[in-house]
Amino acid sequence: MMFWEHNRRIDNTEGNSYHTLIIKMEDQEMQLKVKRVTDKFTESMYVLANEPSIALYRLQEHVRRSLPELVQHKTDMQSWEEQSQGAIYTVEYACSAVKSMTNSSLYFKNIDGLLRQAISLKEQMSSSQGRRKRALDSGMLKDGGEKHSSGI
């Protein structure tokens, strides 16, 4: 603003031709300023227009660097998942076995009763066989003793 006021004062004192010269100078300065602004604006637009490609390039670099590590993590996680599934299956199988065992207490009681019966029958058979054997042995001794004595 001050330059304009200064030129106005000069214009009032020296006449009309000088006023035209100052306006032309101001137009040239204005054109230079406008050119600078448009150049800066064009440069800014160029940078903004190309910025996504730079961002995509950086993103591509990042993916290229981090992808092998991510693949390794994925492989590890899949391996751990398989191991976990195996362990889960084992635990579930063991739990079902324990549940079936608690439900089978009636069967174990029946088996216990049958074993007790078998043991008592075995004892009865053993004692009756022992009596028979003793009876046979004593009968054989009588018969065997006679045979021995007559055979000599």
pLDDT at residue 131 in the model:
75
The CA–CA distances, whole Å, from 53 to 50, 65, 66, 76 equal 5, 18, 20, 34
pLDDT at residue 132 in the model:
74
pLDDT at residue 65 in the model:
94
| pLDDT above 70 (res 139) | no
Chain-centroid distance of CA 60 in Å reads: 25
CA–CA gap between residue 19 and residue 8 (Å, rounded): 8
Q: How confident is the model at residue 7 (pLDDT cuts 50, 70, 90)?
A: very low
> pLDDT, tens digit, for every residue of 63-117?
999 999 999 999 999 999 999 999 999 999 999 988 887 778 888 889 999 999 9
pLDDT at residue 117 in the model:
96
pLDDT at residue 74 in the model:
96
> pLDDT, tens digit, for every residue of 12-58?
455 556 566 566 767 788 888 889 999 998 888 887 777 777 788 88
Write down the pTM of the prediction. Answer: 0.36
